[in-house]
Structure 1
Amino acid sequence: MSAPIRPGLHERFRRGLELSPGRTAVHTDTTALTYQDAHELALTWAGTLLSAAPEPPRAVGVLAAKGTEAYAGMLAALYAGAAVVPLHPGFPAVRTERMLRDAGVSAVVADDQGLAALRALPRDPGVPVLAPGRDAGPLRQLRPSRNLALAEPRPVAGEDVATILFTSGSTGRPKGVPVTHRSTAHYFDVLDRRYDFTPDDVFSQTFDLNFDCALFDLFCAWGAGATVRPVPAHAYRELPGFAKETGMSVWFSTPSAIALLRRMRALAPGALHGLRWSFFAGEALRADDVEDWLRAAPASRVENLYGPTELTVTVTGHRWDPRRSPGRCVNGLVPIGAVHDGHDHLLLGPDGRPVADEGELCVSGPQMTPGYLDPADDAGRFLHHRGRTWYRTGDRVRRLDDGELIYLGRLDSQVQIQGWRVEVAEIEHALRSSGAVEDAVVVAAAGPRGTELYAFYTGDARPAAELAGKLGEVLPHALVPKHFRQVSQFPLNSNRKIDRRALAASAAHGIGVG
C-alpha cells in the first residue's frame, strides 16, 4: 500500500519528481518535458503569476492546446495556490468569456491558440496573460522571469479548490464545478490502492484538458513518476504503431474510441499487446466492445469507470472478468461497479423515496463537490436525507445481487410511447443483437403522431422494413422505431461522447430520416 499523500493535488507531481526527476513527465508531438524541467517552469511561472497583483490569484485559466503551456501552466496555477481552470481554445468566444467570468479567473496562461481565443472575446478579459515567448498584443502581458521563481509551491488546505471544471447544464449554459484538494486526495488515494502504476508506464491522453477524465491520466501518471502521452488525431489511423512506438501501457478513452478504431481496422488480434491497463468512461460500455478490445489487447486488464464531474472524475469501477462479467450485463452494457471506499449511495424511485433495487443514483462522500459556482444551479441536484447531503446524478442504475451497480440510462432518456415506458438502451441492444447493424443509437423526437422513436445506425444500409421486422420479433410493437437512418459514424461532442442531442435535433427536423 502506498504512503498517504499530502493534500495538495500538485503533490502528486512532486511525488513523481522524487521518483523520476530525469524521466519524461509529458511527451507531445513537439515537446518532451522531464519532471525536473516541468517543475522548474512551474515554479517560475507561479512566481510570475503571483507578482501580477497584490493578492494571490484565486483561479488561473489555462487556455492552451496539449503542449508545454497547458501542462506547465496547470502545474504553475497549482503551485501558486490557485484553482486551475482548464479551458478549450476552440470553444465559442461567448462561452469562454462566461467561464472566465464565472470562475473568477484573475490570470490566464495561453499558447498561440489561446491568445487567438482571447483576442476573439467580445471584450478584453482585463486580466494579465502569461504567454511565454509570444507577443500578447493589446492584452496585459506577463513575462516569466527566473528572478520571480518560487522556492516551493504555496501551501494549500484541503478545503481549497484545486480545479474548476465546467459541465453542460440542462439550461444550455456551462455550470462551474469546483473540486477541492481534499476530494482529489481521496480520489487518488483510492486509485493508488487499486492499481499498480510504475515509472515505466506510459499513459495515453485522449481527453481534452477541460474534460475531468484528463485529471486521471495526468495525476495517476505523475503520482507514479510515469509519462503522459497525448494521442493526436492522426494517431488513430495507425494506433497499434503509435502505441508500440511510444511504449504505451495505459489506455483511457470514451467507449466511442473502440467503434472508431474498429472502423479503421485497428483492433486486429494482438494489435495492442503492450497495454496492461485499459479504462473506459464517459459513456455506457458495451460487452461486445470489451471483447473486441481484449482481442487486440490480450495482456490488458479492462475497467469500466463511472462518475460525474461533481463526484471528482470517477466514483465507481468494474473490472472485467471474462468468466463472470458477461452474465452481469444488462442490455449488453457492462456494470459500473461499486462506489469508492468512504462513500454511501442510495437509489431514488419515481416518487423521490429510497428504493432497494433500481432508481436514480445518489452519492454522498468525500469526492462530492461542495456545490456549483452559481448556488442557483444547486437546486434539484443535491438531496438532504438522513442528515447528509447527496448528489443526485440523474442516472438510472440497478443494484445487482453482489452490490455492484449497472447503468441503465439517463432519467430523461426514458420516454413514454403510446403509454409504454420505453428505455432506449433496450432497443439499441436489440438492434445490435439483430446482426443487421454494427451500432445503433435511438432517440425520441416529436413527430406527426406525437413522440416517435428514431434509430440511427452504422453499418451497411438496410431497408427500414427489414430492421423493423427484426425488432418486431423481440420487442413489443410500440418499442419499434418508426424511422431508421444509416450514418457513416455518429457525431461526437467536444468530450468525444456520442452527441445524442445532435441526433435528436436531426430527428426533430427530419433531416435524412425516414
Structure 2
Amino acid sequence: MSLTLVERFLRGLEVSPDRPAVRIGSDVVTYREAHDTASRWAGSLMADGSPRTVGVLAGKSTTSYVGLLAVLYAGATVVPLLPHFPAALTRWMIKLAGVETLIVDERGLAVLPEITDRDTSFRVLDTGGFADRFPTIPVTSHPVISAPVPVAPSDQAYILFTSGSTGVPKGVPISHGSFTHYFELQDRRCDFGPDDVISQTFDLNFDCGIHVVFSAWGAGATVQTVPPSAYRDLPAFLAEHGITVWYSTPSGIWMAREMGGLDKGALDGLRWSFFAGEALRCQDAADWQAAAPGSKVENLYGPTELTITVCRHRWSGEESERRGVNGTVPIGQVHEAHDFRLVTEQGQRSSVEGELWVTGPQMATGYLDPADEEGRFVDLDGRRWYRTGDRVRARPDGELAYIGRLDSQVKVHGWRVELAEVDHVVRECDGVRGAVTVTRTALHGTELVVFYTGDEVPETVLAAGVRAVLPDSILPRRYVHLAAFPLNSNRKVDRIALRERAAGLAG
C-alpha cells in the first residue's frame, strides 16, 4: 500500500497512540501527543496564510520532530536546519529555499540574531512564549485543521542540502512521490512493528535521519536518539533502551569497536542493522554481525538526489567478501522501477565498470538552483539521468560493487592512482584498523598522505605493503597515525579536514 509521509505517521498513530513516537534523553512524546501538537501548529501556520516552505531550526529536541510533522500536516515543504551550522550558511540556505516561516527550539532561538540581517525576514511560530523577541505567529489552543492537508505525488515534501564536500551545498527538493516509492519498497522487505525501537544517530538535515523517522512512524515504532556518549558502552545503551533496529554510518562500527562494544553476541537484541553514507568494509560488517548474530545486516547506497538510498546489499559473509572490491561490501542492486547505466571516461556505455547513472521514480527533478545541475543531471534518450560521480563495477546478475568517487582516482607523476586501493592495502597491514589516503600539493607536484588508525606501525612496514600497488617513485610521502578519524556533522569521515591537515604537514 502506497502511503505518503503523513499517512505513515497516521498509520503509526492508529496502532500505537500511547506509545512513544520519539525519545530524546528523558523527553518522550507519544504518537497522540505528537499528532495533537502538530495539528495545532499546522493550524496556526495555515491561519496565518498558506505556508509554502517552512524551516525547522532546531537541535535534537522534540520540537524538531513535531515541527517536521506540523509542516507536512500543513501541506508545506519542510527545510531541516541545524543551529550549530555557521550562521552565514544557514542564512544562505533559508534564502535559497525561500523560507519565510521558522519553527525553532531554544537552540534555534539562540542563534536567530546571528542569522537575521536586513535582507532576511521571516516569522517564527511562537511555540515557547517568545513573541517579544521576533515577529511571530501565535499558536492557537485548538487545532484549526480537522485533518492534514492532502498532497499530490509531485508536491515537494522536503528540501535537503547536500553535504557540500566539494563546494557549496546544493538544495535538493524531494517530492512526496519519491518518498512514497522508497518506503513502499522498504515495507515489503522489513518487518518493523510497534515493539521495535529504531536508533537515530543522524541529524534531521541528513536524508538518513528521515529514513529513521518514517521507518519507525510507519510501523508505530519508537525513534530513539543516540548521543555520542552512548558509544562508551553501546551494548548497555541498546539494552537499556530496547533498541532492535540500528542505523548509522560505518564509522559507528569502529567507534563501537574502539570502546570494546563489539564482543561476540554483545548486541544480541538487534533484529536489523543498516549502514549508509560511506563505503562499508567487509571486516567491519563481519565484526558487527558477530556482535549482533540475530540481526540482518544491510549496506545501503544512494545520494540525496536519489531519495535516501537506491541500492542495497544483504551481508552474507564470505559470499559478500567475494563480490566486493578493495575489501568493501557490495552496494547491491538498484531499486526496482529504476534503470542504471555505467559510463566510461570516454562517455561510452559499459557493461562492466564506469560512473553510475540512475533514473527512476526516486530521482529528484533537479536542484533549487538550475545552475548547479550541469554535469549532474543529464537528458539522454528521452530520459533524465542523475550522474552519481561514483565508479562502480557490475556483475552479470546486476549487483554493483563500489570502487570509489571519480575524484578518488588521481594522477601522481603521470600514474593513475586509485586512493581506495591504497586504503585497502594499508588496512591489510597488521595492527591497522582504518586508512584514508588524501592528496596534497607539493613543489614537485601532487603527493599522497595516508592517515590510519589502530596500532602505530613503522612506516617501512606500511610502505612495503603499498609497493604492491604503487611504484617507489610515487609512494605516499607520509603515514600519519591517528587515535580516531575526524567526523563531520553527519558522522562520516571528514576528508576535508584530513586534506587540510595533510597540507599543513612538514616535509
TM-score (norm 1): 0.96
Structure 2 contact 452–481 (Cα < 8 Å) conserved? yes
Matches within 5 A, 1:350-369: 350-369=345-364
Q: Deviations over 1:358-416 (max 9, x none)?
A: 11000000000011011111111111222101000011111023210011111011101
C-alpha separation in 2, matches of 1:274 and 1:290 = 17
Matches within 5 A, 1:65-464: 65-123=59-117, 125-135=120-130, 137-169=132-164, 172-464=167-459
Residue 57 of structure 2 is aligned to residue 31 of structure 1: no
**Count of aligned positions:** 506
Structure 1 contact 59–85 (Cα < 8 Å) conserved? yes
Note the C-alpha offset of 1:58.
0.9
- For residue 5 of structure 1, what is the aligned residue in structure 2? 2
Distance 1:445 1:177, change over 3 A: same
Note the C-alpha offset of 1:148.
4.5
For 1:5, the aligned partner's letter is S
Residue 58 of structure 2 is aligned to residue 49 of structure 1: no
Structure 2 contact 296–315 (Cα < 8 Å) conserved? yes
Distance 1:327 1:375, change over 3 A: same
C-alpha separation in 2, matches of 1:170 and 1:252 = 22
C-alpha separation in 2, matches of 1:405 and 1:170 = 24
> Structure 1 stretches (4+) deviating beyond 4 angstroms?
none
Note the C-alpha offset of 1:147.
3.2
For 1:87, the aligned partner's letter is L
Q: Deviations over 1:404-435 (max 9, x none)?
A: 00111110111012222111111111111121
Q: Deviations over 1:144-186 (max 9, x none)?
A: 1123431100111111000000113466222110000010011
Q: Deviations over 1:79-110 (max 9, x none)?
A: 00001111111000000101111111121110
Structure 1 contact 5–12 (Cα < 8 Å) conserved? no
Q: Deviations over 1:427-462 (max 9, x none)?
A: 111111121422111011112321111000112323
For 2:342, the aligned partner's letter is L
Unpaired runs of at least 5, structure 1: none
C-alpha separation in 2, matches of 1:252 and 1:349 = 33
Q: Deviations over 1:87-135 (max 9, x none)?
A: 1110000001011111111211100100012121151642111242242
For 1:114, the aligned partner's letter is G
Structure 1 contact 439–458 (Cα < 8 Å) conserved? yes
- Match of 1:120, SS state, is helix
C-alpha separation in 2, matches of 1:479 and 1:295 = 38
Structure 2 contact 342–356 (Cα < 8 Å) conserved? yes
Structure 1 contact 344–364 (Cα < 8 Å) conserved? yes
For 1:62, the aligned partner's letter is V
- Match of 2:398, SS state, is coil
**Percentage of matched positions with identical amino acids:** 54
- Match of 2:488, SS state, is coil
Within the candidate set 460, 466, 487, 1:471 is matched to 466
> What is the root-mean-square deviation in Å for CA atoms of aligned residues?
1.5
C-alpha separation in 2, matches of 1:134 and 1:65 = 18
Note the C-alpha offset of 1:5.
2.5
Unpaired runs of at least 5, structure 2: none
Q: Deviations over 1:331-362 (max 9, x none)?
A: 00000000001000001100122111111000
